[in-house]
Amino acid sequence: MPGLDTSVEKLPRASAADVASLRKLGIETFRDLLLNLPHGWQSYADSPAIGSLRPEGKATIVGTLVSIAARRSPRQRLSLTEAKLKDDTGGSISVVWFNQPFRAREFKPGDRIAVAGTVKASRYGGVQMQNPHVERVGNGDGPRWVGDLMPLYHLTGKLTSRKIATWVEAALPLAAGLADVVPDAVQRRQGLPSLAETVRWGHKPADQSEWARARDRLAWSELFQLQVAFFVARRQIQSEPAQPLPYRQDVIDAFKTGLGFELTNAQRRATWDVFKDIASEVPMNRLLNGDVGSGKTAVAAAAVAMTHAAGLQSLVMAPTEILARQHLGKFRAYLEQSFPELRVDLLVSGLPAAERRRVITSVASGHTALLVGTHALIEQAVEIPDLGLAVVDEQHRFGTRQRELLRAKGRGRPHFLAMTATPIPRTLALARYGEMALSILDEMPPGRTPVETRVVEPPGREAAYELVRREVRAGRQAFVICPLVEESENVDAATVKAATVEFERLRSEVFPDLRLALVHGRLKEKDSVMRDFGAGAYDVLVATAVVEVGVDIPNASVMMVEGAERFGLSQLHQFRGRVGRGSAKSQCLLLAEEPADKALARLRLLERENDGFKLAEEDMRLRGAGELMGARQHGLTDDAMRALQQPNLLNEVRDEAERLIEADPELAGNSLLKAAVERRLEITSIS
């Protein structure tokens, strides 16, 4: 008899491909299957008689098969399974399934079946259903599966909602044994239904309201685990003290003098937040959330200056060599004039062996005050004995283990500052990075010229190409971003292929007289290509989303995004931020391939709005928080992400989590919750 921890390999009639697809969805066991609720429901109205059906209506029909056969269409070579169904009143309807030849083997004339779908007018007269849901029924019985409230599950591969519903039906008796991570006392205070009842409501609801309650209940549980994990992470961070770095006015005065520009009010607030944090024995654990060009690096540089004044070292870790080299230039510009003894060095995998040895020796001896680099910083040979401050840029690109290795480089626990250039609405930032203090740079430095953004429909494509030619003739450069590729077994490989095809088309047909280069995530030489582009060796860079962050080419004045409707607003805003970094007027062209009214309306928001935070909030409203934050990448369901947008609910969950941790900081009384929190810490990369 299977149990909750039984592998999905034991599901009835589950093929190896089915099991692989379930695992792609994160469903490994019967327990996972039960906790994976439908994301929606499809409803088909009952029809008393075939003769009363009208085209474009939805219906569930029960009748007897008169005929059924599979064949190939002569022109399109499609596999067709055609059937004729007759009901008890004598009315008949034709049914056709495309590319489902097994239907002719599954059923035979005389079988009593139920079909549910949309009724269409048949080209041969009468009515027809195409690709309906189907189920064999007994004489005098109604359908069990097809018809009213049919569940819709997240799918991949060749899985169907019907197939998952069949497996859920087999596993549902096990729901009574589900243990709940939410303590009984919390359930009683919050009036939460039991987990077993929740699962039954979620998969087999009497009505839509039961299903909605079930999803809300599981979302509450997810947020509770997340908030408990935040409190645990915070306690872990605070358990090992850091060396306080005292505030010195002379240091900040010298820093401002050498900076060459005035800090914005937002930068001043964030810098003061950092100075207060690092003056404490409690290790700083702060997230600096700012739009493209808002000046995060200057805030980090001020923290480096104060760390150096205390006699300690700093490091800055970036996800790519390009971004690391850009940081090297900026930190040197911000610091070395006022603090000539503050040596800044670079460590990336591409350094010559002799330079690499020199840098590692200089850091280990304490001569290097700030080490900037990539993942090369966490290699075993690198020792930073007096590490007082660790800065991670675009921290979502690094896992928990990488950040812990950074923190372990020094003798004690360093202060930690994370930066992200992806604007995140405050509610989501507090929920996603709840163990971190938050500073938001919501003000742009003066003098930065907004990038003019235009949506280009298909008739305007040639004019867009001419704009690129005109800018290149004026001595400037352009980006062309290739769209995401959807509905592919390997999205990354397909996107690279699409970018390669587009690069060849542009080079041979559109810009044969210009110098073009191609860069994508799988290209080993992408850093050198980017350096060459920055040095002016190419006129146009064709790229995938690999250039979304961390590319600073002041001479680039045009950003052209192909298939713009396939990207979210926040990502398009990031692309736009790659231009407008020099003195020349810059433009972002959003080329729409399939300009549906809804897609165009969404894109035109970018024509009117330059504030990344406002766009992120609109993106969240239009696409959902899960899409905006990549919920599935850090283990949150769509329901939990939607719940994050309810401040009162989030406060309620946070209060319960804090109450629990105060009473049982080690979670000794709830081993199930403790295990769930440990998994959550690893999935969300928050510690």
Q: Are 605 and 530 members of one domain?
A: yes
Torsion of CA 327, 328, 334, 335, to 10 degrees: 140
> H or E stretch including 223?
helix 208-239
Task: Single out the residue in 547, 582, 609 at which a domain terminates.
Answer: 609
**CATH at 317:** 3.40.50.300
Domain count along the chain: 4
Q: How far apart are CA 471 and CA 467, in angstroms?
A: 6
Q: Are 118 and 166 members of one domain?
A: no
Assess if residue 590 is contained within a domain. yes
pLDDT tens digit string along 298-352?
999 999 999 999 999 999 999 888 889 889 999 999 998 899 999 999 999 889 9
Assess if residue 655 is contained within a domain. no
438 φ, ψ (degrees, to nearest 5)? -125, 130
What is the domain range of residue 14?
1-43+149-174
In the predicted structure, residue 35 carries a pLDDT above the cut 50? yes
In the predicted structure, residue 488 carries a pLDDT above the cut 60? no
Compute the average pLDDT of residues 535-557. Answer: 83
Assess if residue 679 is contained within a domain. no
pLDDT tens digit string along 368-424?
999 999 988 888 788 899 999 999 987 555 555 666 677 677 777 899 998 987 777
Q: Which residue has the higher pLDDT, 620 or 391?
A: 391
Q: Are 54 and 69 members of one domain?
A: yes
**CATH at 83:** 2.40.50.140
- How many CA atoms within 13 Å lie on the side-chain side of 372? 23
Assess if residue 234 is contained within a domain. no
What is the identity of the amino acid at 306? M
Q: Which of 463-472, 505-514, 527-536 has the lowest mean pLDDT?
A: 527-536
Question: Cα 101 vs. chain centroid, distance in angstroms?
Answer: 38
Assess if residue 624 is contained within a domain. no
SS3 83: strand
Which residues in 169-327 belong to E strands, given as ranges?
285-290, 313-317
Q: Are 467 and 515 members of one domain?
A: yes
Q: Are 588 and 467 members of one domain?
A: yes
Q: Are 111 and 14 members of one domain?
A: no
Task: Single out the residue in 127, 142, 157 at which a domain terminates.
Answer: 142
User: Is the CB of residue 29 less than 8 Å from the CB of residue 8?
Assistant: yes
pLDDT tens digit string along 625-638?
444 444 343 456 76
Alpha-carbon distances of 610 from 421, 456, 498, 604, 606, rounded to whole Å: 14, 18, 29, 11, 7
Q: How far apart are CA 273 and CA 296, in angstroms?
A: 13
Assess if residue 185 is contained within a domain. no
Q: Are 33 and 64 members of one domain?
A: no
Write the CB contacts of 209 (distance below 8 Å, at least 6 apart in sequence).
Answer: none
Assess if residue 468 is contained within a domain. yes
Q: Are 521 and 470 members of one domain?
A: yes
Please provide the size of the chain in residues. 687
Q: Are 307 and 363 members of one domain?
A: yes
Q: Are 370 and 412 members of one domain?
A: yes
Assess if residue 62 is contained within a domain. yes
Q: How far apart are CA 465 and CA 311, in angstroms?
A: 54
Q: Are 400 and 460 members of one domain?
A: no
Task: Single out the residue in 591, 609, 627 at which a domain terminates.
Answer: 609
Q: Are 485 and 347 members of one domain?
A: no
pLDDT tens digit string along 647-677?
678 788 889 999 999 999 999 988 889 988 8
Q: Which of 13-22, 150-159, 211-220, 477-486 has the lowest mean pLDDT?
A: 477-486
